[in-house]
Amino acid sequence: MMLMSIFHSSAQAQMALASAINRTARFRALSQRIAKAYCQLYLNVQPALARDVLVSARHMVAAGGEELAKGLNTGPWPADIAALLGVIQKHVDVLNSLLTMPPTHESVRAVALQVDKFLITANTTTETIEKLSAAGSARLLNTVGRQRMLSQRLAKNYFLVAAKLGETSTPQQMNADAAEFKSTLSSLAKLPITTANIRSELTLGEQQWVFFEAALRNKPDESGLRNVATASERLLEVMDKLTGLYEVALKDVLG
């Protein structure tokens, strides 16, 4: 109870929670990005880029896990969040063991299944941390951060379909993800917390989405796969920067 009181009364703790929400939300995107890159290697699509993406994403997961394990500057995490972070680490350990294998049809399937377990726990953790925050804008940060995941899950599923590893529900998932991404992007520009800098980045995001959506509509031949690989990375970069800008805006409000 005392810890909850600290969270709700300290602006410093609220700012730390905003950062934590950003980091656990980023895990969602990284999980899908890892599977995308691994499947990309299996399909031999821009393998040098795929290897770089895979190394970068795994490094970010490790660094984020180490940072979150330290707790907040107000003290350790509540038991439920600490337990969830422990489950995330177990998912990461299993995933890392799978990634030591060269990509094959079966190993890509195993990685795809494992990252979805990682995604589910990362999402639960993000939502649980969000509930600790007294700032209503914390929900916004969670929503903006989810855009990163949607961009990567769309690309991952495109590659899985190309690898003949898609499920019967994959097209429906892709349609739903695309609709959610577009709807969220449109709604963000109308929010009072959206600054001039954020609006500029939103415009860039809208432009990148046009390229990415067009690439997703193409058949997964050599050109289509290459375009989705490139466009998904560009869109992720914009969405990650956008999430960071909203985190800063939220901290300004809290400060």
Task: Please write the tens of the pLDDT for every residue from 59-116.
Answer: 999 999 999 998 876 678 999 999 999 999 999 999 999 999 999 999 999 999 999 9
DSSP summary character for residue 103:
P
With contact defined as beta carbons under 8 Å apart, do 182 and 223 qualify? no
What single letter denotes the amino acid at residue 63? A
Domain ranges, ordered by start, for the chain: 2-254
Identify which of 63, 62, 30, 55 has the alpha carbon closest to the alpha carbon of residue 145. 30
The confidence score (pLDDT) of residue 10 equals 64
Nearest-angstrom CA–CA distance, 15 and 162 = 42
Residue 23: count of CB within 10 angstroms of its CB: 21
The confidence score (pLDDT) of residue 137 equals 66
The confidence score (pLDDT) of residue 27 equals 98
Please identify every stretch of the chain with a pLDDT value under 50, giving residue numbers as ranges.
Answer: 1-9
Q: Give, for 243, the enclosing helix (H) or strand (E).
A: helix 222-254
CA diameter of the chain:
58
Distance (Å) of CA 174 to CA 82, 122, 153, 166, 192? 32, 20, 8, 11, 30
The confidence score (pLDDT) of residue 18 equals 84
39-61 b/e with 16+ CB inside 10 Å = b? bbbbbebbeebbeebbeebbebb
The confidence score (pLDDT) of residue 132 equals 84
Q: Helices 47-69 and 222-254: crossing angle, nearest 10°? A: 30
The confidence score (pLDDT) of residue 189 equals 84
Q: Give, for 42, the enclosing helix (H) or strand (E).
A: helix 11-42
The confidence score (pLDDT) of residue 2 equals 38
Roughly how many angstroms between the first and final C-alpha of the chain, as a whole number? 24
What single letter denotes the amino acid at residue 102? P
Within 8 A by CB and 6+ apart from 34, the residues are 54, 57, 58, 61, 95, 99, 111, 115
β-partners of residue 72 are 75
Tokens found for residue 19: 């950062």
The confidence score (pLDDT) of residue 94 equals 98
With contact defined as beta carbons under 8 Å apart, do 243 and 143 qualify? no
Nearest-angstrom CA–CA distance, 37 and 33 = 6
